[in-house]
Amino acid sequence: MILHRGANRTLAVITLLILTLFVSALPLAQSSPGGAGTFVDDDGSAQEPYIEAIAVEGITTGCNPPANDRYCPDRGLTRAEMATMLVRALDFPASSTDSYADDNGSVHESAINSISAAGVTKGCNPPSNSQYCPDNELTRGQMAAFVARAFDLPPAGNSDSFADDNSSIYEGDIERLAAAGITAGCNPPANDRYCPDEQLTRGQMAVFLARALSLPILEPPPPPPPPDGSTTTTTPPGNPDASGVEVWGPRWMAGTSTVTRSRAVADARNFELLVAHEKTYEGHIAAMHAENPDLVVLTYVNAVYAEPGKWQSYPDAWFAKNKNGVRVKSTQFGNYVMDVSNSAWWNNRADKCKELINGNGYDGCFLDLLGTGPLVSGQSNVMPFNSATGQDWTYQQWMAQTIKLANRVESRVPGAVVYGNGLGSGFRYFRSSGATSQLWGGLDGMMAEVFVRSAKDGVNSYRNESMWKQDVDMLVDAANRGKTIYVTAKLWVSASSAQTNKWHEYALGTFLLGAGSDALFTFLPDQSKPTEDHAWWNIDIGSAQGKYFKTSQGLYQRNYSDGLVLVNPTGSSKTITIGSGYKNVWGNSVSSTLTVQPHTARVLTKP
């Protein structure tokens, strides 16, 4: 058993954790959206009283030193941040042992060594476990392992409490937590799932720690209700003049084949932005622009990986390698990762872009994979090594170089449009270390390819409310920056027609909550048909009337001049009175009192 902040607290810690580890199912104290607390970015959050509690105890000092006036409650919690919070909260003793090779120079290194010496962590790269992966964000499965080890929980026997962890390496630890009553599941009221791959947020961690340590929770007085009976949100508004659904087509996802003139013109008619391989629209660009003068057609350029069949001609110095000199290669596609800090590689990508624009008449280039994909565990055969620092690349360092690459390309094709891919999703966009929002420093248009869900997530697997909300806030932030953001929601798993429609409207509704005037959407239930038009995208919902907000019923709402968007990202049904005269996406009239089912959106028009 590991010692915690005084032996007399051990029982209290265990008891309180049993009640609180599953945060998303807990009734949280409400706080004032205009409160004068320690941090400016948690006002209005249900987690604010708990954040204040751990701040008073010195467990957190904020997320933006040296000012430290923000807590970043909706960001994912990194393994490094978790180590520091645990050491401050539980008084783990210091250790003189340097346990891991990849945390040298980190402000969290001492805390990481402390929890390693205490047996709370073994590392992140078994069997050698020579690394801690400090910048990786924690999942619920990983947290189960930490808690099970910290409290020396007994084995749970042959129990199988949850349906979604059977293939997880953390199943045994999850069962230990369930047997001890520490978790009840992630999808109340059924609670037959644990969601082991969902990430924890900093706000949730504050609740875990504050309640586990029996810290006093002082609620500020509630604010007066707004005149419409809804509750406010701290999210800044998007463009109030944003129109309905603007859509784009990632044609390159269907491969390198060419299309007919009629197909090319139809694509131009249906979309505002198209991205394709160099030969796909060859000979059709002029006809496409004649059909849609506002159309932007970009040619695909892989910014980070060598093209198959061409890597043999590249100098060895251009390739990314690990610390032993082994070339880094994609585990999924087999192509090599290039050294993103090599200026000769930047020039090669710039020349490639210029060649394709001049040769085929495209409006510009689309730079794929500017984000941190090659650094994500399991994506590469070995980890890329940064020779300038003598350590493996961090997210922050990697994207600082891909921004330079993008800037080099843009400087070589003046007047052309250069957009990129790399934002990922909201939780990557806002994460505390290596936030993909920094990619705006390179380009004015960026893709978020993992909007609302990952392509191969289970058809019944949904992000929790705080992670889902980050996708909305990513759109709002892009609008406030005056940037073009184009999102993709993929459903590349077996799904019924009803399930596909549910996911489509959920993704569309989420998009409409936060979209500004330069945001574009697409939903892909079939990788082979990335420019398939859909009737729902032609619904005239009008222009957005201000920002989105959270209603008193727990729904997220945004009003449009000719309609209304309601989204329920929670696990329970919500009922709201909306008035008469609305129609759903199928054109059918809806009741003035509407029940929105769990993880469902309703996009409504009012002719």
Encoded tokens for 489: 């929601």
pLDDT of residue 569: 97
pLDDT at 267: 95
pLDDT at 217: 64
What's the pLDDT at 234? 31
Cα 174 to Cα 17, 157, 264, 293, 530, distances in angstroms? 14, 12, 51, 56, 39
Q: How far apart are CA 118 and CA 86, in angstroms?
A: 11
Distances (CA, A) of 597 to 67, 184, 373, 576, 600: 42, 22, 34, 11, 6
Contact by Cβ (8 Å): 479, 454: no
Q: Are 572 and 188 in contact (CB under 8 A)?
A: yes
Give φ, ψ of 448 to 5 degrees.
-110, 105
pLDDT of residue 56: 83
Q: For position 12, what pLDDT does the model report?
A: 35
* Separation of alpha carbons 520 and 512, rounded Å: 10
Q: Could you count the other beta carbons within 10 Å of the beta carbon of residue 239?
A: 18
Q: Which residues of the chain have pLDDT under 50?
A: 1-35, 219-243
CB 495 within 8 A of CB 503: yes
The class that CATH gives domain 248-543 is alpha beta
Look at residue 457 in the predicted model and tell me its pLDDT: 95
Cβ within 8 Å of residue 14, ≥6 positions away: 151
pLDDT for residue 309: 80
pTM check: above 0.85: no
Instruction: Look at the alpha carbons of 280, 283, 286, 288 in this order and tell me if their dihedral is positive or negative.
Output: negative
CB neighbours of residue 465 within 10 Å:
19
For residues 548 and 277, give the distance between their C-alpha atoms in angstroms, rounded to a whole number: 37
**Directed axis angle between helix 465-481 and helix 497-514, to 10°?**
50
Q: Is-cis flag, bond preceding 222, omega within 30? A: no
Alpha carbon distance 141, 451 (integer Å): 22
Strands 273-276 and 391-392: unpaired
| Domain spans in the chain, listed from the N-terminal domain onward | 7-212, 248-543
What pLDDT score does 402 carry?
A: 95
Tell me, what's the pLDDT at 290? 95
What angle, rounded to 10 degrees, do the helices at 202-212 and 48-56 form? 60
